[in-house]
Structure 1
Amino acid sequence: MTADLQGAQNVRDGKRVTVNMVSDVVCPWCIVGYQRLQEAIKTLDNIEVDIKFHPFELNLNMPEEGQNLREHIMEKYGISEQQSAQNRARLVEAGEQLGFSFNFTDDSRMQNTFKAHQLIHFAAENGLEEDMKLSLFNAYFTDGKDVNDLGVLVELAECVGLDKTEAEAVIKSEKYAQVVREEETLWMQRGIQSVPTFVIGNQGVAGAQEPATLAAFIAQAASQQ
């Protein structure tokens, strides 16, 4: 770790590293991981970092109407209501440290994200991938919006600068459904089983790692170019 961080100081000007982030917009640790990545980037000298998002659905079979979040977490992971509350408290604290607000309520719902991932793909083709991703994170976790609702998605698309009519048509027609499914399958075939996972150079880094850890992996990837 120390050697890798030291390597960051020795990287020549002009180094550019792509960080591939496999994530879901209803994954709380994904936004924590993203925020920590931003903190890591701030510590790097002479390294440009490009972030590329890739789709992953925590719940491929989630029904259109979703499910109560607390019930879903307790059911999926076999934990108690108290443990679920403790997990939420940890997330709220982690978010506060990074300037992100988690507003969980008893009515919070786990939602189907297939439409959202198609919208992110459309945004990527228009150079607005990161804006769209962050807008969805904020809408779901901070504002408590249904990110599987067509009206909500179209509104968010317009807010980040996408054409409202075109965004609605893309979602309704499922224009990017196949390409999203293919990309999800590709990453699973590469061994991605949980998110967030950061692929940096030839290294896969699972979990919402601390900024220093992410910075070390980025510096290592830059030094190997």
Structure 2
Amino acid sequence: MDEHRESRPPSVVTEKNVSTVEKLIMQDRRITVKQLAFETKISIGSVETILHDHLNLNKVSARWVPRLLTTDQKQERVKCCKHLLRQEANDAFFFRRIVTMDETWIYQFDPEPKSVSMQWRRPSSLPTKKAKVTQSSGEVMLSCFWDCDGTIMTDYMEKGKTVTGIYYSGLLKKLRSEFVRRRRGKLRSGVLLLAFCMILLLLIKHEKQ
């Protein structure tokens, strides 16, 4: 005669627990699995089952964007883009005449990516350590100008200089020389400097007054 066997313990993955986990996530999208397990008083494995098999959820990192825009800023950009498209309809070479620029501070260090430091190791080996790279006190500002055909000019600000209207004035003179060398004939057909470049011109004009 077979011995008496205990019945299988009831599963904690119930409709109530699924609903509770979903509500907690709706309240805080960044909540961790450990926090969910603590709040619901069920195991981490059961929480993961609910997340993946019942709620079809996966935790992903937020996508990086240059800046978060308000509704008004988005509408203004749409308005600006529509204006540019109308300009292009009347001028087939409109976009080819646009020149823009950007600038960034470059720090004097070359951080090693985490993937480069990966090593093949046995399970019994001690874990390796890697010190966090810190920024050096040295830095230089890079300015880059480009159009639809590619980069026109890059310039590194000399050490000891400050960002002033005089600095930008010299930068635009260098840009003109590069135009003559790299984009022959484009100055005669007309060049359109994007909004940021126009701000530079206003700054130069203000400092000269």
TM over 0.5: no
The answer to which structure, 1 or 2, has the higher relative contact order (CA under 8 A, 6+ apart) is 1
TM-score (norm 1): 0.21
Q: TM-score, normalised by structure 2?
A: 0.22
Larger Rg over CA atoms: 2
Higher helix share: 1
